[in-house]
Amino acid sequence: MKTLIDKIILVILLLAFLTSIFLIFAWVPPIKASNPAEQIAQRIFYYHVPSAWIGFLAFFVVFIGSIAYLWKRERKYELLSVASAEIGVLFITLVLLTGPVWAKPVWGIWWTWDARLTSSLVLWLIYVAYLMLRRYLPDGNKRANLSAVVGIIGFIDVPIVYYSIRWWETQHPKAVMASSEGGLAAPMFFVFMFSLAAFTLLYVYFMRVRYKLLVMEDSINKQIKEMEIL
Amino acid sequence: MLKPSLAIVQKDLRMEFRSKESILAMWIFSLLIFVIFNFTFEVSRLVMLEIAPGLLWVAFIFSGMFGLNHSFAVERENGNLRSMALMPVTGGSIYLGKFLSVTIIMLLFETLIFPIFVIFYDLQLTATLFLLIPVILAGTIGFTSLGTILSAVSVHTRNQQILLSLLLWPLVSPIIIWSVNLTSMVLAGEILTNFLPLLIRIIAFDVIFFTISFMLFDYILED
């Protein structure tokens, strides 16, 4: 049941991602690197970093949705949190997949127990556990309450996890966007922002579709229950 | 507020000392971890000393799961969870009671397993070893403060035991990382300048985790 807005977003997304692939592979100048493999591998940065940002955004929405649920007790906040948690896990999975693809040619290894990598994996595990919890519980207020509690504790834990592992030696490239010294060159910055916008729109689209699906599931379940009573 | 909590502590400890269910299981399980570890990693004494701090905490948290699982599993029998929710006290005081009893049981178990650890890994008994007391205390409190609320969450599921591990371990990992760091400092006899700041950091996060859990516990009890 796609509305007109959904269709429009889908078309924009299609165009945006095609454009971003063109920008990343044909338009933006490659970075200065002695290793030619690194020059190619670096281009994954434009998908890797936005995925991470959107993953964090999604988990923040889980946090806000969980608080709103415990406060207002409205089903919509519960569904919003669940939808966002699923999508967040998806994006962090993308981060964990694109990272090794970059690391293999540049570091020579797929994975290392580095600070950033480890904390991202722990983050992923926290929200997978959140989704598992929901799977093991029957639908109802109990499930909504318990998952909201975990959604809140989980998000508060995220900065602590990052902080606890931070003092480890990190090989991971510095956060170029946040650094004071220069940062990205103008064309790179433009492509990055373009990707980020595309990923944000993708998140919005996924949220709309998943949320609607959850509402539909709900109404079907309700009808089944009514039929059972009859 | 403290009275109902103390009543829960009293009940839990009385049950534990009559059956010795948790402590005995935890103690034997830790012993098994040491033995299995020895089979699977045949390492030299030097390497052993390096990994001993991690091993100690692995034993603590793996065995600690027994205590945490047990803590709310006993309440599920005979519908005690519902009676708890009906008690005219706040969720916070029930949380406090459960937290205290689990923590006391775990600290007792740790006291009992530590001498075995010292013998197995031939640790030097020096005065600095006393510095382990605040480290173990702070680490354990962090583990149980999060563990108690997550045990109350997972007890409602079919797969209680595995789910508690899935929820707790990633969340408690910062506390464990710092505790292992501090333990290695103490065991190596190199108390660095960052010993105290690190310890204070664990305590700070203990307080954070405890406060959040204390505040959120009401929502877990209600139906």
Task: Dump pLDDT digits (tens) for B49-105.
Answer: 788 889 999 999 999 998 899 888 888 887 888 888 888 888 889 999 999 999 999
Q: What percent of chain A has pLDDT over 70?
A: 91
Please check the confidence at residue A178 and state whether its pLDDT lies above 60: no
State the average pLDDT over residues B135-143.
Answer: 95
A28: how many CB neighbours lie within 10 A of its CB?
Answer: 20
State the average pLDDT over residues B161-170.
Answer: 92
pLDDT at A169: 56
Query: Binning pLDDT at 50, 70 and 90, where does residue A14 land?
Result: very high
Using CB atoms, pick whichever of B154, B212, B219 lies closest to residue A145: B219
> Which residues of chain B make contact with A153, given a CB cutoff of 8 A?
146, 149-150, 171, 209, 212-213, 216
Please check the confidence at residue A15 and state whether its pLDDT lies above 60: yes
**A137: contact with B, CB 8 A cutoff:** yes
Query: Binning pLDDT at 50, 70 and 90, where does residue B195 land?
Result: confident
**A113: contact with B, CB 8 A cutoff:** no
Using CB atoms, pick whichever of A149, A157, A163 lies closest to residue B153: A149
Comparing B25-29, B35-39, B175-179, the range with the smallest average pLDDT is B35-39
Q: What is the ipTM of this complex?
A: 0.88
pLDDT at A44: 87
Instruction: Provide the residue ranges of all domains of chain B, joining segments of one domain with +.
Output: 2-221
pLDDT at A171: 65
Task: Answer with the residue of higher pLDDT: A178 or B163.
Answer: B163
**B178: contact with A, CB 8 A cutoff:** yes
Task: Dump pLDDT digits (tens) for A165-176.
Answer: 665 556 677 665
**B36: contact with A, CB 8 A cutoff:** no
Cβ-based neighbours of A203, under 8 Å, separated by 6 or more = A54, A57, A58, A87, A91
Chain A interface test: which of B150, B168, B173 (most A C-beta within 10 Å)? B173
pLDDT at A60: 95
Q: What percent of chain B has pLDDT over 70?
A: 99
State the average pLDDT over residues A11-18.
Answer: 92
> Which residues of chain A make contact with B222, given a CB cutoff of 8 A?
141, 145
The H helix count followed by the E strand count for chain B is: 8, 0
Concatenated DSSP letters for B16-71?
HHHH-HHHHHHHHHHHHHHHHHHHH----HHHHHHHHHHHHHHHHHHHHHHHHHHH
Please check the confidence at residue A177 and state whether its pLDDT lies above 70: no
Query: Binning pLDDT at 50, 70 and 90, where does residue B126 land?
Result: confident
Are the beta carbons of B167 and A128 separated by less than 8 Å?
no
Winning range, highest mean pLDDT, from A16-20, A164-168, A200-204, B36-40 = A200-204
Q: Using CB atoms within 10 A of its CB, is residue A20 exposed (0-12), middle (13-18) or buried (19+)? A: buried
Taking CA–CA distances from A157, the nearest residue in chain B reads B171
Instruction: Provide the residue ranges of all domains of chain A, joining segments of one domain with +.
Output: 4-172+186-229
Are the beta carbons of B150 and A150 separated by less than 8 Å?
yes
Are the beta carbons of A149 and B205 separated by less than 8 Å?
no
Please check the confidence at residue A41 and state whether its pLDDT lies above 90: no
Concatenated DSSP letters for A52-68?
HHHHHHHHHHHHHHHHH
Please check the confidence at residue A201 and state whether its pLDDT lies above 60: yes
